[in-house]
Structure 1
Amino acid sequence: MTVTGKDLMALGFEQGADLGRAIDAVNALGLSGPALAEWVVRNKPSPRAGLQEAPAYRFNLDAEDEAEAENVAKVRETMDVLMRTPTLRQGAVMPDACPAGPVGTIPVGGVVAAKNAIHPGMHSADICCSVMITEFAEASPKDILDAVHKATHFGPGGRPNGQRYTMSPDLYDAFRANAFLSDKKILQAAQEHLGTQGDGNHFAFVGVSAANGTTCLVTHHGSRGPGAGLYKLGMRVAEGWRKKLSVGVLKENAWIPADSADGLAYWEALQLVRKWTKSNHNALHQAATVFAGAKVRERFWNEHNFVFRQGDLFWHAKGATPIDTTLLPDTNGTQIVPMNMAEPVLLIRGAPNDANLGFAPHGAGRNMSRTAHKRTKAGRSAESIFAEETEGLDARFYSGKIDISELPSAYKPAASVRDQMRRFGLADVVDEIRPYGSIMAGDWERDAPWRKKAQARHAARTIAG
């Protein structure tokens, strides 16, 4: 007798890729009757996990005006859906929270703990976005800002040949040995993107320590092309597992079982990307130190948009700074929280409690999208907005084009985020780096061919209408 898929499904096997392999296996073994039923019990896949009743999460975010009230409502909505993902056990929202995708996507400022699961979508494409600070023994802010301007690179892509920083051969070999990072595009990006900062809200900031009077350099950026490539591959693998292990789970919340071969390789890849990103920051800081002829007093860093492990719990922090020192292999206990180019960068310390779950804000966050913010400035020139919001600062855009969506008014009020961090008992400010100046990418896409074509089409429609 030939066993069919209908026979196996009657015994409890679900339809899917495993069913075809099972049909071949039982027919090769010649099983039937009780022996067939016993084989199915031993070999059928576990039932797929459905959405759970959402566990409670901590909400460390208040609304102080109408725009913030709308933001708070959207953050609650997406967290309520997110927490129904069956792997999640705990969660928290930070004062800098704002939505970051379709409803159910982890928000910026969101922290969740997953049991034995790594969710690529919950650390985002900008893996290990992070902040590094160097405090100089004796250096002027202008000299350091000029030096880092010379050392850094903003905008798309990597550095051209002859202008690249050298990647560690040991780290390159480790990339090649990893199942995810051995991808040719990732290996190429790992070499070309070292010493680059990208665009968006990434920056090089120079200021003066309120506690010590010393000049400090702060950089903010992530893992660039290598991280983006890893994210893309991770989401593809997670989607395969989502279809196999779950039903009703959003694609954005797909996961890789941490104890699977895929999970072990992905966890290792995350740690290697972390090393690459730290070396990227360090290359820029060291080059700026050399260009300025300065002497380093202290240097440290911390990351967000990353995954941190405690036993079988994997903490996913999307735009949240870990303050639990057990999560970090290389911390001095002080963490870095930037706000905007006109506000001090905060140095904080804290300990895990029921409110913070071991995390603090990673910055100021936004109450509205970049596009919505630009609409609030309609009728004013970028130059006048820039002059008003950066008065007294040495603020520079690497592309030479002002990006008003990165000026201070685009972000939540720093005083509000700082006050909520205090009121919710998330962390304590131990120093602040008061701003001298900063460098950001700027609106490098302003004159892009695709944008000019879009503007021409819009103008033509306006005339025709």
Structure 2
Amino acid sequence: METLINGNELLNAGYQRGGILGFALKIANSKFTSQPKEDVIALFKKVKDYPESFLDDEVLQPLASAMIEEANAPVEETIPLKEEGSPYIIYGEGQIEQGAKNQMDIAMKLPVTVAGALMPDAHQGYGLPIGGVLATKNAIIPYGVGVDIGCRMALSVYDIPEEHFLLNEAKYKRELIAHTKFGAGHGNHGRYKADHNVLDSNDFNLTPFIKKLHDKAWSQLGTSGGGNHFVEFGIIEFPERDEVLNIDKGRYVALLTHSGSRGFGATVAGHYTQLAKQLCKLPKEAANLAYLDLDSQEGQEYWIAMNLAGDYASACHQVIHDKLKAALGAQVLAKVENHHNFAWKEMLNGEEVIVHRKGATPAAKGVMGIIPGSMTAPGFLVRGKGEANAINSASHGAGRQMSRTQAIKSITKDDMRQVLKDHGVSLIGAGRDEAPMAYKDINAVMASQTDLVDVVAKFTPKLVRMADDGSRED
């Protein structure tokens, strides 16, 4: 009669669940079935306790060797976090969800963290919260930059008075539809094809991985992504003459765009995030904050690729602005552009640091930026004050107060139509996940950062185009 051993009996003998247990059972129940069960269990307990004694046993040697190899396998060590996180300042704390604060608390415990700040539009993201600013020492965090590398705002103020838009809105709508393209996919075809010298950059030859993305970058040049990306005409009001921009007091037609580096940037972000996670083992709660040392080959590759993605995002905006300027026959009085998913080398308290702004606007003293509201709420042209506690940063918008799922569930199409009508806004595309009600009150956000920026002018959206319902970046 055969004697079979079960897993529980070997577990009671001191084995652990896993591959070794399965291997032991396989040998026991194929080679020792004619032996009394208690003798077999005792033998296998001895193998577990003294595997080196069985390295010359013709039957048990493979099991003994596997045990020794497992015991001597290097332990994959994680990089420990600091016990106490560095302090950081929160602007507009009452408007910020706890999840974003929890993510920032973890980021402040990274061994490379020097300083941090949370902007008033902050909400929970992956790794670093959206609206999080983090300064590190010689380290770059791909998820501290974000998936849409170099995502930015661009504003063209035209020499066109408000009245012209009001009398010719149909023309503006035709041109907006004709010269913009939105959403996930392969981008431009036929007459939409564009060109820009960014595509000639030698950085596309950095690695075979980056080189393979050149065609995708070319095909999507001058297009806009899904989600909250937009191209819109509106009226910008300067309450007084701005000497720096050389613009008189008044109300002008303006073009405002929000988009990033499209599929090229998203693919770069995904590749180097996975690489960072392989090279930088952090505790589970901090895994999405894996970083690359800027002195390493991988860190240098990502830094160059990130900057290339930023240049590409800027080129996409330039193509759109150039096309619409030509279509309108307009002169541009001023052009302002800033990005908000990026990392910069900056000086902070006398040392060079890497400043990650994931959904935050650069706001060093005198630096211009654009902080949008929503499709019905105003946006603001601002000038930075250079507040050191905020690491020379400000919010990048109003910030979401509803998740996309929550917005779709709670906001009806009639609700959305009514709020657009109330504000005199015409909308092309977009879904309820981008409804104005899904966003925080931009005026409350701006009130929380008066120490960070001065408002130069207010932009009121009038004609907005976004990706069709359900579109997402590829």
Question: Which category describes the TM-score, using the shorter chain as reference length?
Answer: 0.7 to 0.9
Which residue of the other structure, out of 55, 77, 98, is the alignment partner of 2:86? 55
CA RMSD of aligned residues (A): 2.4
1:445, CA displacement in angstroms? 5.3
Normalising by structure 1, we get a TM-score of: 0.76
For the pair 1:118 / 2:156, whether they are aligned, the reply is no
In structure 2, the partner of 1:216 is: 254
Please list, as runs of the form range in 1=range in 2, the aligned pairs for 1:118-197 lying within 5 A after superposition: 118-138=140-160, 140-141=164-165, 142=169, 143-169=171-197, 171-179=199-207, 182-184=210-212, 186-197=213-224
Task: Measure the CA separation in 2 of the matches of 1:445 and 1:284.
Answer: 20
Which residue of the other structure, out of 449, 452, 457, is the alignment partner of 1:421? 449
SS of 1:137 mapped into structure 2: strand
Q: Which whole-Å deviations, capped at 9, do the CAs of 1:291-343 have from their partners, x for residues lacking one? A: 12222222120000111112641111110000126xxxxxx832111011112
Please list, as runs of the form range in 1=range in 2, the aligned pairs for 1:448-459 lying within 5 A after superposition: none
In structure 2, the partner of 1:317 is: 357
1:181, CA displacement in angstroms? 5.8
Divergent runs of 4+, >6 A:
none
For the pair 1:339 / 2:339, whether they are aligned, the reply is no
The answer as to whether partners of 2:364 and 2:387 remain within 8 angstroms in 1 is no
Q: Structure 1's 230 and 98: CA in aligned 2 closer, same or farther, altered over 3 A?
A: same
The answer as to whether partners of 1:347 and 1:430 remain within 8 angstroms in 2 is yes
Task: Measure the CA separation in 2 of the matches of 1:445 and 1:119.
Answer: 27
Normalising by structure 2, we get a TM-score of: 0.75
In structure 1, the partner of 2:419 is: 388
In structure 2, the partner of 1:76 is: 101
1:232, CA displacement in angstroms? 1.3
Query: Which sections of structure 2, spanning at least 5 residues, go unmatched?
Result: 1-71, 239-249
Task: Measure the CA separation in 1 of the matches of 2:265 and 2:471.
Answer: 22
Task: Measure the CA separation in 1 of the matches of 2:310 and 2:270.
Answer: 17
Q: Which whole-Å deviations, capped at 9, do the CAs of 1:122-175 have from their partners, x for residues lacking one? A: 111111110000111126333445423221101211334313433335633424
The answer as to whether partners of 2:158 and 2:331 remain within 8 angstroms in 1 is yes
SS of 1:272 mapped into structure 2: helix
Task: Measure the CA separation in 2 of the matches of 1:128 and 1:173.
Answer: 17
1:375, CA displacement in angstroms? 2.8
Q: Which moved more, 1:230-239 or 1:168-177?
A: 168-177
For the pair 1:403 / 2:431, whether they are aligned, the reply is yes
For the pair 1:92 / 2:117, whether they are aligned, the reply is yes
Q: Which whole-Å deviations, capped at 9, do the CAs of 1:235-290 have from their partners, x for residues lacking one? A: 122122214xx566732111111111221222111111111111100100110111
SS of 1:213 mapped into structure 2: strand
In structure 1, the partner of 2:33 is: none
SS of 1:132 mapped into structure 2: strand
Q: Which moved more, 1:434-443 or 1:301-310?
A: 434-443
Q: Which moved more, 1:111-120 or 1:151-160?
A: 151-160
For the pair 1:15 / 2:74, whether they are aligned, the reply is yes
Structure 2 counterpart of 1:232, one-letter code: G
SS of 1:266 mapped into structure 2: helix
Task: Measure the CA separation in 1 of the matches of 2:117 and 2:103.
Answer: 12
In structure 1, the partner of 2:44 is: none
SS of 1:342 mapped into structure 2: coil
Q: Percent identity?
A: 29
1:426, CA displacement in angstroms? 1.6
Task: Measure the CA separation in 2 of the matches of 1:165 and 1:421.
Answer: 41
The answer as to whether partners of 1:349 and 1:429 remain within 8 angstroms in 2 is yes
Q: Which whole-Å deviations, capped at 9, do the CAs of 1:372-398 have from their partners, x for residues lacking one? A: 223333xx4x14432334434342233
The answer as to whether partners of 2:398 and 2:445 remain within 8 angstroms in 1 is yes
1:344, CA displacement in angstroms? 1.6
SS of 1:214 mapped into structure 2: strand
Query: Which sections of structure 1, spanning at least 5 residues, go unmatched?
Result: 1-12, 18-46, 326-331, 447-465
The answer as to whether partners of 2:188 and 2:223 remain within 8 angstroms in 1 is no
Task: Measure the CA separation in 1 of the matches of 2:193 and 2:74.
Answer: 52
